[in-house]
A and B are shown apart, each in its own frame.
Chain A
Amino acid sequence: MATIDGSAIKKLIVACDAGMGSSVMLAATLKKQLAKSGVTVEHSPVAHIPADADVVVTQASLAERARGVVPDVPVVPFQLFLGDPSVTKVVKAIQNGETVEV
Protein backbone atom coordinates (compact mmCIF):
# COMPACT_ATOMS: atom_id res chain seq x y z
CA MET A 1 0.00 0.00 0.00
CA ALA A 2 1.36 3.37 -0.90
CA THR A 3 -0.04 6.84 -1.17
CA ILE A 4 0.44 8.79 -4.35
CA ASP A 5 -0.08 12.51 -4.78
CA GLY A 6 -1.57 13.06 -8.21
CA SER A 7 -0.36 16.65 -8.45
CA ALA A 8 3.26 15.67 -7.79
CA ILE A 9 3.46 13.12 -10.60
CA LYS A 10 5.52 14.22 -13.58
CA LYS A 11 6.54 10.86 -15.03
CA LEU A 12 4.40 7.72 -15.20
CA ILE A 13 6.00 4.48 -16.34
CA VAL A 14 4.02 1.54 -17.70
CA ALA A 15 6.17 -1.57 -17.30
CA CYS A 16 5.86 -5.04 -18.79
CA ASP A 17 8.23 -7.99 -19.14
CA ALA A 18 9.78 -7.04 -22.45
CA GLY A 19 8.72 -3.40 -22.64
CA MET A 20 7.54 -3.99 -26.20
CA GLY A 21 3.97 -5.27 -26.24
CA SER A 22 1.39 -4.76 -23.56
CA SER A 23 3.13 -1.81 -21.90
CA VAL A 24 3.30 0.05 -25.21
CA MET A 25 -0.42 -0.48 -25.69
CA LEU A 26 -1.39 0.70 -22.21
CA ALA A 27 1.06 3.61 -22.37
CA ALA A 28 -0.55 4.78 -25.61
CA THR A 29 -3.96 4.72 -23.94
CA LEU A 30 -2.75 6.58 -20.85
CA LYS A 31 -0.85 9.11 -22.95
CA LYS A 32 -4.12 10.07 -24.63
CA GLN A 33 -5.97 10.26 -21.32
CA LEU A 34 -3.24 12.34 -19.68
CA ALA A 35 -2.42 14.53 -22.68
CA LYS A 36 -3.73 17.68 -20.98
CA SER A 37 -2.07 17.04 -17.62
CA GLY A 38 1.49 17.45 -18.92
CA VAL A 39 2.57 14.15 -17.37
CA THR A 40 5.21 12.17 -19.27
CA VAL A 41 3.96 8.65 -19.96
CA GLU A 42 6.58 6.11 -20.99
CA HIS A 43 6.81 2.34 -21.31
CA SER A 44 9.74 0.22 -20.23
CA PRO A 45 10.81 -3.37 -19.54
CA VAL A 46 10.26 -4.13 -15.88
CA ALA A 47 13.98 -4.76 -15.41
CA HIS A 48 14.89 -1.27 -16.65
CA ILE A 49 12.37 1.05 -15.05
CA PRO A 50 14.00 4.49 -14.98
CA ALA A 51 14.86 5.64 -11.47
CA ASP A 52 13.27 9.07 -11.99
CA ALA A 53 9.77 7.61 -12.37
CA ASP A 54 7.15 9.08 -10.04
CA VAL A 55 4.77 6.15 -10.30
CA VAL A 56 4.92 2.76 -11.98
CA VAL A 57 1.88 0.94 -13.38
CA THR A 58 2.34 -2.77 -14.06
CA GLN A 59 0.47 -6.07 -14.17
CA ALA A 60 0.11 -7.64 -10.71
CA SER A 61 2.28 -10.63 -11.74
CA LEU A 62 5.20 -8.29 -12.42
CA ALA A 63 4.70 -5.95 -9.45
CA GLU A 64 7.13 -7.81 -7.22
CA ARG A 65 9.92 -7.41 -9.74
CA ALA A 66 9.05 -3.76 -10.33
CA ARG A 67 9.30 -3.08 -6.60
CA GLY A 68 12.71 -4.76 -6.58
CA VAL A 69 13.96 -2.50 -9.37
CA VAL A 70 12.67 0.80 -7.98
CA PRO A 71 12.02 0.26 -4.24
CA ASP A 72 11.31 3.97 -3.60
CA VAL A 73 8.74 4.49 -6.33
CA PRO A 74 5.10 3.59 -5.73
CA VAL A 75 4.08 0.62 -7.87
CA VAL A 76 0.42 0.35 -8.84
CA PRO A 77 -0.46 -3.23 -9.75
CA PHE A 78 -3.41 -3.87 -12.03
CA GLN A 79 -5.13 -6.98 -13.31
CA LEU A 80 -6.75 -6.18 -16.65
CA PHE A 81 -5.01 -4.40 -19.47
CA LEU A 82 -8.24 -2.74 -20.53
CA GLY A 83 -10.54 -0.91 -18.14
CA ASP A 84 -8.91 -1.85 -14.85
CA PRO A 85 -10.19 0.25 -11.91
CA SER A 86 -6.70 0.58 -10.36
CA VAL A 87 -5.40 2.25 -13.49
CA THR A 88 -8.47 4.48 -13.71
CA LYS A 89 -7.83 5.55 -10.13
CA VAL A 90 -4.31 6.69 -10.91
CA VAL A 91 -5.47 8.54 -14.02
CA LYS A 92 -8.18 10.32 -12.02
CA ALA A 93 -5.73 11.20 -9.25
CA ILE A 94 -3.41 12.81 -11.77
CA GLN A 95 -6.17 14.61 -13.65
CA ASN A 96 -7.68 16.05 -10.46
CA GLY A 97 -4.44 16.42 -8.51
CA GLU A 98 -5.84 14.23 -5.72
CA THR A 99 -4.02 12.06 -3.23
CA VAL A 100 -5.04 8.41 -3.33
CA GLU A 101 -4.16 5.11 -1.73
CA VAL A 102 -2.95 2.59 -4.30
Chain B
Amino acid sequence: MSAYTPAPTGTGARAQVQRAGAFLAGMVMPNLGAFIAFGLITALFIPTGWINTFAGTVKSPLLITTQIGTMVGPLIVILIPILIAFTGGKNVYGHRGGVVGTVAFIGAMVSPLALQLKGLSLNGEPPIAPKSLGDLGPNILAAFILGPLGALLIKLWDGVIEGKVRGGFEMLVDNFSAGIIGGGLGVFGLYVIGPVTFWIAQGLGSLVNSLVNLNILPLVSIIVEPAKVLFLNNALNHGVFTPLGAEQVAGGAGKSILFMIETNPGPGLGILTAMLLFGPRAIRPTVPAAMVVHFLGGIHEIYFPYVLMKPILVIAAIVGGASGVLWESIFGLGLVGPASPGSIIAWALVSPPDNIVLNLLGIFIAAGVTFVIGMLLLGFGRKETATDAALDLEAAQEKSKQNKAKSKNQPAPSV
Protein backbone atom coordinates (compact mmCIF):
# COMPACT_ATOMS: atom_id res chain seq x y z
CA MET B 1 0.00 0.00 0.00
CA SER B 2 1.37 3.37 -0.95
CA ALA B 3 0.99 6.75 0.64
CA TYR B 4 -1.61 7.44 -2.02
CA THR B 5 -3.73 4.64 -0.70
CA PRO B 6 -4.91 5.00 2.88
CA ALA B 7 -6.88 2.07 4.26
CA PRO B 8 -10.57 2.63 3.59
CA THR B 9 -12.06 4.01 6.76
CA GLY B 10 -15.20 2.59 8.29
CA THR B 11 -17.80 4.43 6.29
CA GLY B 12 -20.42 1.73 6.19
CA ALA B 13 -23.12 4.31 5.55
CA ARG B 14 -21.41 5.47 2.40
CA ALA B 15 -21.12 1.92 1.10
CA GLN B 16 -24.82 1.41 1.80
CA VAL B 17 -25.87 4.55 -0.03
CA GLN B 18 -23.55 3.54 -2.88
CA ARG B 19 -25.19 0.13 -2.98
CA ALA B 20 -28.74 1.51 -2.96
CA GLY B 21 -27.81 3.99 -5.68
CA ALA B 22 -26.05 1.32 -7.69
CA PHE B 23 -29.24 -0.74 -7.57
CA LEU B 24 -31.13 2.09 -9.31
CA ALA B 25 -28.26 3.08 -11.60
CA GLY B 26 -27.85 -0.62 -12.47
CA MET B 27 -31.32 -0.53 -14.03
CA VAL B 28 -30.59 2.61 -16.06
CA MET B 29 -26.97 2.33 -17.12
CA PRO B 30 -27.13 -0.85 -19.25
CA ASN B 31 -29.82 0.96 -21.27
CA LEU B 32 -28.02 4.25 -21.85
CA GLY B 33 -27.71 3.42 -25.54
CA ALA B 34 -31.49 3.75 -25.87
CA PHE B 35 -31.38 7.10 -24.07
CA ILE B 36 -28.68 8.30 -26.43
CA ALA B 37 -30.68 7.18 -29.49
CA PHE B 38 -33.64 9.09 -28.08
CA GLY B 39 -31.45 12.13 -27.42
CA LEU B 40 -29.92 12.17 -30.89
CA ILE B 41 -33.18 11.63 -32.75
CA THR B 42 -34.79 14.37 -30.65
CA ALA B 43 -31.92 16.80 -31.20
CA LEU B 44 -31.93 16.23 -34.95
CA PHE B 45 -35.54 15.72 -35.99
CA ILE B 46 -37.97 17.58 -33.74
CA PRO B 47 -39.43 20.82 -35.23
CA THR B 48 -36.89 22.94 -33.33
CA GLY B 49 -34.07 20.41 -33.94
CA TRP B 50 -30.85 20.78 -35.88
CA ILE B 51 -32.23 19.82 -39.30
CA ASN B 52 -35.18 22.22 -39.26
CA THR B 53 -32.99 24.93 -37.76
CA PHE B 54 -30.44 24.63 -40.56
CA ALA B 55 -33.12 24.33 -43.24
CA GLY B 56 -34.94 27.34 -41.80
CA THR B 57 -38.13 25.32 -41.50
CA VAL B 58 -38.81 25.51 -37.76
CA LYS B 59 -42.29 26.99 -38.37
CA SER B 60 -43.31 24.37 -40.97
CA PRO B 61 -41.07 21.34 -40.33
CA LEU B 62 -39.83 19.23 -43.24
CA LEU B 63 -41.91 16.12 -43.92
CA ILE B 64 -39.00 13.75 -43.30
CA THR B 65 -38.39 15.25 -39.85
CA THR B 66 -42.03 14.87 -38.83
CA GLN B 67 -41.93 11.29 -40.08
CA ILE B 68 -38.77 10.38 -38.20
CA GLY B 69 -39.87 12.47 -35.22
CA THR B 70 -42.69 9.96 -34.68
CA MET B 71 -40.07 7.75 -33.02
CA VAL B 72 -39.37 10.26 -30.24
CA GLY B 73 -42.44 9.62 -28.08
CA PRO B 74 -42.40 5.82 -28.18
CA LEU B 75 -38.66 5.75 -27.45
CA ILE B 76 -38.99 7.67 -24.20
CA VAL B 77 -42.51 6.75 -23.09
CA ILE B 78 -42.58 3.07 -24.01
CA LEU B 79 -39.18 1.61 -24.85
CA ILE B 80 -36.97 3.14 -22.16
CA PRO B 81 -39.23 2.46 -19.15
CA ILE B 82 -39.81 -1.09 -20.42
CA LEU B 83 -36.07 -1.65 -20.79
CA ILE B 84 -35.55 -0.33 -17.26
CA ALA B 85 -38.27 -2.57 -15.83
CA PHE B 86 -36.79 -5.55 -17.68
CA THR B 87 -33.25 -4.81 -16.49
CA GLY B 88 -34.49 -4.33 -12.92
CA GLY B 89 -36.21 -7.69 -13.04
CA LYS B 90 -33.26 -9.38 -14.73
CA ASN B 91 -30.87 -8.09 -12.08
CA VAL B 92 -33.02 -9.78 -9.42
CA TYR B 93 -33.94 -13.06 -11.13
CA GLY B 94 -32.50 -13.44 -14.61
CA HIS B 95 -34.49 -13.37 -17.84
CA ARG B 96 -37.57 -14.87 -16.18
CA GLY B 97 -37.51 -12.10 -13.59
CA GLY B 98 -37.16 -9.56 -16.36
CA VAL B 99 -40.22 -10.88 -18.17
CA VAL B 100 -42.44 -10.86 -15.10
CA GLY B 101 -41.17 -7.43 -14.02
CA THR B 102 -41.87 -5.98 -17.46
CA VAL B 103 -45.40 -7.37 -17.61
CA ALA B 104 -46.01 -6.01 -14.11
CA PHE B 105 -44.84 -2.58 -15.23
CA ILE B 106 -47.20 -2.25 -18.20
CA GLY B 107 -50.20 -1.70 -15.94
CA ALA B 108 -48.55 1.28 -14.25
CA MET B 109 -47.39 2.58 -17.62
CA VAL B 110 -50.92 2.91 -19.00
CA SER B 111 -52.45 3.92 -15.68
CA PRO B 112 -52.86 7.66 -16.49
CA LEU B 113 -54.63 6.69 -19.75
CA ALA B 114 -56.79 3.98 -18.19
CA LEU B 115 -57.77 6.06 -15.18
CA GLN B 116 -57.76 9.43 -17.04
CA LEU B 117 -55.40 11.03 -14.52
CA LYS B 118 -54.84 14.76 -15.01
CA GLY B 119 -51.44 16.08 -14.03
CA LEU B 120 -50.60 19.24 -12.15
CA SER B 121 -50.73 22.49 -14.03
CA LEU B 122 -47.16 23.71 -14.41
CA ASN B 123 -47.30 26.97 -16.31
CA GLY B 124 -50.91 27.95 -15.94
CA GLU B 125 -52.22 25.68 -18.71
CA PRO B 126 -55.12 23.54 -17.58
CA PRO B 127 -53.99 19.89 -17.26
CA ILE B 128 -55.65 17.42 -19.60
CA ALA B 129 -55.96 13.67 -19.26
CA PRO B 130 -54.12 11.62 -21.92
CA LYS B 131 -56.20 10.55 -24.94
CA SER B 132 -53.81 7.96 -26.37
CA LEU B 133 -50.56 6.14 -25.56
CA GLY B 134 -48.73 9.01 -27.24
CA ASP B 135 -49.91 11.47 -24.58
CA LEU B 136 -48.41 9.47 -21.72
CA GLY B 137 -45.28 10.50 -19.84
CA PRO B 138 -42.50 8.00 -19.10
CA ASN B 139 -43.14 6.41 -15.71
CA ILE B 140 -39.59 5.39 -14.84
CA LEU B 141 -40.28 5.44 -11.11
CA ALA B 142 -42.88 2.69 -11.55
CA ALA B 143 -40.37 0.73 -13.66
CA PHE B 144 -37.85 1.04 -10.80
CA ILE B 145 -40.40 -0.48 -8.41
CA LEU B 146 -42.32 -3.03 -10.46
CA GLY B 147 -39.41 -4.51 -12.43
CA PRO B 148 -37.57 -5.81 -9.35
CA LEU B 149 -40.82 -6.47 -7.43
CA GLY B 150 -42.24 -8.71 -10.15
CA ALA B 151 -38.95 -10.59 -10.34
CA LEU B 152 -38.82 -10.97 -6.57
CA LEU B 153 -42.36 -12.44 -6.44
CA ILE B 154 -41.71 -15.01 -9.18
CA LYS B 155 -38.41 -15.89 -7.51
CA LEU B 156 -40.20 -16.50 -4.20
CA TRP B 157 -42.92 -18.51 -5.93
CA ASP B 158 -40.37 -20.64 -7.78
CA GLY B 159 -38.61 -21.26 -4.47
CA VAL B 160 -41.85 -22.37 -2.78
CA ILE B 161 -42.90 -24.86 -5.46
CA GLU B 162 -39.43 -26.18 -6.27
CA GLY B 163 -39.48 -29.97 -6.40
CA LYS B 164 -43.24 -30.11 -5.83
CA VAL B 165 -44.37 -30.10 -9.47
CA ARG B 166 -45.31 -33.45 -11.03
CA GLY B 167 -43.00 -34.58 -13.81
CA GLY B 168 -44.09 -33.30 -17.21
CA PHE B 169 -46.03 -30.36 -15.80
CA GLU B 170 -43.02 -28.10 -15.19
CA MET B 171 -43.45 -26.00 -18.33
CA LEU B 172 -47.18 -25.58 -17.78
CA VAL B 173 -46.62 -24.46 -14.19
CA ASP B 174 -43.63 -22.23 -15.03
CA ASN B 175 -45.34 -20.40 -17.86
CA PHE B 176 -48.66 -19.90 -16.13
CA SER B 177 -47.15 -18.88 -12.81
CA ALA B 178 -45.08 -16.21 -14.59
CA GLY B 179 -48.11 -15.07 -16.57
CA ILE B 180 -50.45 -14.98 -13.58
CA ILE B 181 -48.00 -13.21 -11.26
CA GLY B 182 -46.95 -10.73 -13.95
CA GLY B 183 -50.50 -10.05 -15.08
CA GLY B 184 -51.83 -9.79 -11.52
CA LEU B 185 -49.08 -7.39 -10.53
CA GLY B 186 -49.82 -5.45 -13.71
CA VAL B 187 -53.41 -4.91 -12.57
CA PHE B 188 -52.15 -3.90 -9.13
CA GLY B 189 -49.74 -1.51 -10.86
CA LEU B 190 -52.53 0.00 -12.91
CA TYR B 191 -54.69 0.82 -9.90
CA VAL B 192 -52.10 1.42 -7.16
CA ILE B 193 -48.42 1.83 -8.14
CA GLY B 194 -49.28 3.70 -11.36
CA PRO B 195 -51.34 6.48 -9.73
CA VAL B 196 -48.99 6.75 -6.71
CA THR B 197 -45.85 7.06 -8.84
CA PHE B 198 -47.70 9.39 -11.24
CA TRP B 199 -48.43 11.82 -8.41
CA ILE B 200 -44.93 11.51 -6.93
CA ALA B 201 -43.45 12.31 -10.35
CA GLN B 202 -45.88 15.21 -10.79
CA GLY B 203 -44.91 16.54 -7.36
CA LEU B 204 -41.18 16.22 -8.01
CA GLY B 205 -41.62 17.77 -11.44
CA SER B 206 -43.36 20.83 -10.07
CA LEU B 207 -40.79 21.05 -7.24
CA VAL B 208 -37.97 21.13 -9.80
CA ASN B 209 -39.94 23.65 -11.82
CA SER B 210 -40.27 25.97 -8.81
CA LEU B 211 -36.58 25.57 -7.93
CA VAL B 212 -35.69 26.58 -11.48
CA ASN B 213 -38.17 29.48 -11.53
CA LEU B 214 -36.85 30.77 -8.19
CA ASN B 215 -33.26 30.36 -9.43
CA ILE B 216 -32.38 28.30 -6.35
CA LEU B 217 -31.63 25.09 -8.23
CA PRO B 218 -27.89 25.86 -7.87
CA LEU B 219 -28.22 24.91 -4.20
CA VAL B 220 -28.36 21.24 -5.23
CA SER B 221 -24.64 21.51 -6.00
CA ILE B 222 -24.06 21.55 -2.22
CA ILE B 223 -25.21 17.93 -2.24
CA VAL B 224 -24.23 16.87 -5.74
CA GLU B 225 -20.54 17.81 -5.79
CA PRO B 226 -19.51 16.17 -2.47
CA ALA B 227 -21.64 13.11 -3.31
CA LYS B 228 -19.88 12.79 -6.67
CA VAL B 229 -16.39 12.56 -5.21
CA LEU B 230 -17.63 9.87 -2.81
CA PHE B 231 -18.38 7.83 -5.95
CA LEU B 232 -22.12 8.42 -5.64
CA ASN B 233 -22.10 10.04 -9.08
CA ASN B 234 -23.92 7.28 -10.95
CA ALA B 235 -26.35 6.71 -8.12
CA LEU B 236 -27.33 10.36 -8.13
CA ASN B 237 -27.28 10.99 -11.84
CA HIS B 238 -28.85 7.83 -13.21
CA GLY B 239 -30.88 7.04 -10.08
CA VAL B 240 -32.44 10.51 -9.79
CA PHE B 241 -31.63 13.07 -12.46
CA THR B 242 -31.85 10.92 -15.60
CA PRO B 243 -35.37 9.58 -14.83
CA LEU B 244 -36.67 13.00 -13.74
CA GLY B 245 -35.08 14.67 -16.74
CA ALA B 246 -36.63 12.15 -19.11
CA GLU B 247 -40.05 12.94 -17.65
CA GLN B 248 -39.46 16.65 -18.10
CA VAL B 249 -38.41 16.21 -21.73
CA ALA B 250 -41.41 14.07 -22.56
CA GLY B 251 -43.73 16.31 -20.54
CA GLY B 252 -43.52 18.97 -23.23
CA ALA B 253 -40.43 20.90 -22.16
CA GLY B 254 -38.40 19.20 -24.90
CA LYS B 255 -35.23 19.53 -22.82
CA SER B 256 -34.17 19.37 -19.20
CA ILE B 257 -31.66 21.13 -16.99
CA LEU B 258 -31.55 18.01 -14.80
CA PHE B 259 -29.36 16.27 -17.38
CA MET B 260 -26.75 18.99 -16.80
CA ILE B 261 -26.37 19.05 -13.03
CA GLU B 262 -24.17 16.04 -12.43
CA THR B 263 -22.71 15.71 -15.91
CA ASN B 264 -21.12 19.15 -16.30
CA PRO B 265 -17.42 18.37 -16.82
CA GLY B 266 -16.53 21.95 -15.81
CA PRO B 267 -15.95 21.53 -12.06
CA GLY B 268 -13.71 18.50 -12.65
CA LEU B 269 -11.71 20.37 -15.27
CA GLY B 270 -11.28 23.27 -12.84
CA ILE B 271 -10.08 20.94 -10.07
CA LEU B 272 -7.61 19.21 -12.37
CA THR B 273 -6.27 22.49 -13.74
CA ALA B 274 -5.77 23.83 -10.20
CA MET B 275 -4.02 20.58 -9.25
CA LEU B 276 -1.83 20.70 -12.35
CA LEU B 277 -0.57 24.20 -11.54
CA PHE B 278 -0.75 24.41 -7.76
CA GLY B 279 -1.20 20.86 -6.40
CA PRO B 280 1.37 18.74 -4.57
CA ARG B 281 4.37 18.46 -6.87
CA ALA B 282 4.52 14.67 -6.73
CA ILE B 283 1.16 14.22 -8.38
CA ARG B 284 1.27 17.02 -10.95
CA PRO B 285 2.65 14.78 -13.74
CA THR B 286 -0.40 12.48 -13.49
CA VAL B 287 -2.84 15.33 -14.17
CA PRO B 288 -2.65 16.05 -17.94
CA ALA B 289 -3.73 12.55 -18.99
CA ALA B 290 -6.47 12.70 -16.37
CA MET B 291 -7.72 15.97 -17.88
CA VAL B 292 -8.13 14.37 -21.30
CA VAL B 293 -9.90 11.30 -19.94
CA HIS B 294 -12.19 13.46 -17.82
CA PHE B 295 -13.05 16.32 -20.17
CA LEU B 296 -13.19 14.51 -23.50
CA GLY B 297 -13.76 10.94 -22.36
CA GLY B 298 -16.33 11.98 -19.77
CA ILE B 299 -15.04 9.62 -17.09
CA HIS B 300 -15.46 11.86 -14.05
CA GLU B 301 -14.21 9.23 -11.61
CA ILE B 302 -10.71 10.16 -12.61
CA TYR B 303 -10.81 13.53 -10.83
CA PHE B 304 -12.47 12.32 -7.60
CA PRO B 305 -9.20 11.04 -6.06
CA TYR B 306 -7.62 14.47 -6.43
CA VAL B 307 -10.44 16.00 -4.40
CA LEU B 308 -10.23 13.19 -1.82
CA MET B 309 -6.52 13.95 -1.54
CA LYS B 310 -7.25 17.65 -0.84
CA PRO B 311 -10.81 17.52 0.54
CA ILE B 312 -10.99 21.32 0.88
CA LEU B 313 -11.21 21.43 -2.92
CA VAL B 314 -14.78 20.18 -2.69
CA ILE B 315 -15.70 23.80 -1.88
CA ALA B 316 -14.29 24.86 -5.23
CA ALA B 317 -16.31 22.13 -6.95
CA ILE B 318 -19.51 23.16 -5.15
CA VAL B 319 -19.20 26.86 -6.02
CA GLY B 320 -18.12 26.07 -9.58
CA GLY B 321 -20.92 23.54 -10.06
CA ALA B 322 -23.48 25.96 -8.61
CA SER B 323 -22.26 28.74 -10.92
CA GLY B 324 -22.84 26.44 -13.89
CA VAL B 325 -26.35 25.53 -12.71
CA LEU B 326 -27.15 29.19 -12.02
CA TRP B 327 -26.06 30.12 -15.56
CA GLU B 328 -28.17 27.30 -16.97
CA SER B 329 -31.27 28.20 -14.99
CA ILE B 330 -31.01 31.95 -15.71
CA PHE B 331 -31.01 31.29 -19.44
CA GLY B 332 -33.45 28.38 -19.25
CA LEU B 333 -30.95 25.96 -20.79
CA GLY B 334 -31.26 22.22 -21.05
CA LEU B 335 -30.14 19.05 -22.80
CA VAL B 336 -32.52 16.88 -24.81
CA GLY B 337 -31.18 13.63 -23.40
CA PRO B 338 -28.72 12.44 -20.78
CA ALA B 339 -25.09 13.38 -21.49
CA SER B 340 -23.52 10.08 -20.66
CA PRO B 341 -20.61 9.93 -20.21
CA GLY B 342 -20.29 13.52 -18.99
CA SER B 343 -17.94 14.67 -21.72
CA ILE B 344 -18.03 18.03 -23.47
CA ILE B 345 -18.53 16.05 -26.68
CA ALA B 346 -21.63 14.34 -25.29
CA TRP B 347 -22.93 17.73 -24.16
CA ALA B 348 -22.55 19.18 -27.64
CA LEU B 349 -24.31 16.17 -29.20
CA VAL B 350 -27.42 16.39 -27.02
CA SER B 351 -27.69 20.19 -26.94
CA PRO B 352 -30.66 21.75 -28.73
CA PRO B 353 -29.51 24.14 -31.50
CA ASP B 354 -30.67 27.30 -29.76
CA ASN B 355 -28.83 26.39 -26.53
CA ILE B 356 -25.56 24.89 -27.67
CA VAL B 357 -23.37 27.97 -27.32
CA LEU B 358 -24.70 28.92 -23.89
CA ASN B 359 -24.59 25.27 -22.80
CA LEU B 360 -20.91 24.95 -23.63
CA LEU B 361 -20.21 28.32 -22.03
CA GLY B 362 -21.80 26.90 -18.86
CA ILE B 363 -19.07 24.25 -18.81
CA PHE B 364 -16.31 26.83 -19.02
CA ILE B 365 -17.93 29.08 -16.42
CA ALA B 366 -18.09 26.15 -14.00
CA ALA B 367 -14.49 25.25 -14.84
CA GLY B 368 -13.24 28.81 -14.44
CA VAL B 369 -14.93 29.41 -11.09
CA THR B 370 -13.78 26.06 -9.76
CA PHE B 371 -10.23 26.74 -10.91
CA VAL B 372 -10.01 30.19 -9.31
CA ILE B 373 -11.37 29.00 -5.97
CA GLY B 374 -9.26 25.85 -6.13
CA MET B 375 -6.18 27.97 -6.79
CA LEU B 376 -6.93 30.13 -3.72
CA LEU B 377 -7.56 27.05 -1.57
CA LEU B 378 -4.28 25.51 -2.67
CA GLY B 379 -2.51 28.77 -1.73
CA PHE B 380 -1.07 29.13 -5.24
CA GLY B 381 0.99 26.00 -4.54
CA ARG B 382 2.97 27.70 -1.80
CA LYS B 383 1.19 25.97 1.06
CA GLU B 384 3.24 22.77 0.94
CA THR B 385 2.05 20.99 4.05
CA ALA B 386 3.67 18.11 5.93
CA THR B 387 1.58 15.61 3.99
CA ASP B 388 2.71 17.08 0.72
CA ALA B 389 6.32 16.90 1.83
CA ALA B 390 5.79 13.27 2.81
CA LEU B 391 4.24 12.65 -0.59
CA ASP B 392 7.26 14.23 -2.21
CA LEU B 393 9.64 12.12 -0.11
CA GLU B 394 7.79 8.96 -0.95
CA ALA B 395 7.89 9.98 -4.57
CA ALA B 396 11.61 10.54 -4.40
CA GLN B 397 12.19 7.16 -2.80
CA GLU B 398 10.19 5.39 -5.41
CA LYS B 399 11.52 7.57 -8.15
CA SER B 400 12.97 4.99 -10.45
CA LYS B 401 10.05 2.68 -9.91
CA GLN B 402 7.63 5.49 -10.52
CA ASN B 403 9.29 6.74 -13.63
CA LYS B 404 9.00 3.35 -15.17
CA ALA B 405 5.47 2.99 -13.92
CA LYS B 406 4.51 6.32 -15.37
CA SER B 407 5.75 5.58 -18.82
CA LYS B 408 3.91 2.28 -18.77
CA ASN B 409 0.81 3.28 -16.90
CA GLN B 410 -0.29 6.32 -18.76
CA PRO B 411 -2.62 5.24 -21.50
CA ALA B 412 -2.47 7.07 -24.75
CA PRO B 413 -4.82 10.00 -24.27
CA SER B 414 -7.19 8.58 -26.82
CA VAL B 415 -10.65 8.19 -25.46
Give the interface centre of A22, A28, A86 by most chain B CB atoms within 10 Å.
A22
Interface majority SS (helix, strand, loop, mixed), chain B = helix
> Considering the complex, which residues of chain A in the window 54-102 have a beta carbon less than 8 Å from any beta carbon of chain B?
59-65, 68, 77-89, 91, 101-102
Give the interface centre of B2, B233, B298, B304 by most chain A CB atoms within 10 Å.
B2
B5 engages A60 (CB within 8 Å) = yes
* Residues of chain B contacted by A82 (CB below 8 angstroms): 286, 289-290, 293, 302, 409-411
* Residues of chain B contacted by A61 (CB below 8 angstroms): 8, 14, 230-231, 304, 308
Complex Cα spacing A55 to B279, Å: 32
Partner of B402, one of A20, A33, A85: A85
Complex Cα spacing A98 to B278, Å: 37
A80 engages B286 (CB within 8 Å) = yes
CB-CB under 8 A for A33 and B408, given A1-B1, A80-B286, A84-B2: yes
A83 engages B401 (CB within 8 Å) = no
Partner of B5, one of A20, A25, A79, A101: A79
User: What string of 1s and 0s marks CB contacts (under 8 Å) between B325-350 and chain A?
Assistant: 00000000000000001000000000
Complex Cα spacing A101 to B25, Å: 34
> A34 to nearest B CB, angstroms?
11
* Residues of chain A contacted by B310 (CB below 8 angstroms): none
Complex Cα spacing A14 to B275, Å: 26
> Considering the complex, which residues of chain A in the window 36-51 have a beta carbon less than 8 Å from any beta carbon of chain B?
45-47
For the complex with contacts A25-B297, A65-B15, 14 further pairs of A-B residues with Cβ separation under 8 Å are: A16-B301, A17-B25, A17-B301, A18-B25, A22-B299, A59-B304, A60-B8, A64-B11, A65-B18, A82-B409, A82-B410, A83-B286, A85-B4, A85-B401
Q: Which residues of A contact B (CB under 8 A)?
A: 1, 16-18, 20-22, 25, 28-29, 33, 45-47, 59-65, 68, 77-89, 91, 101-102
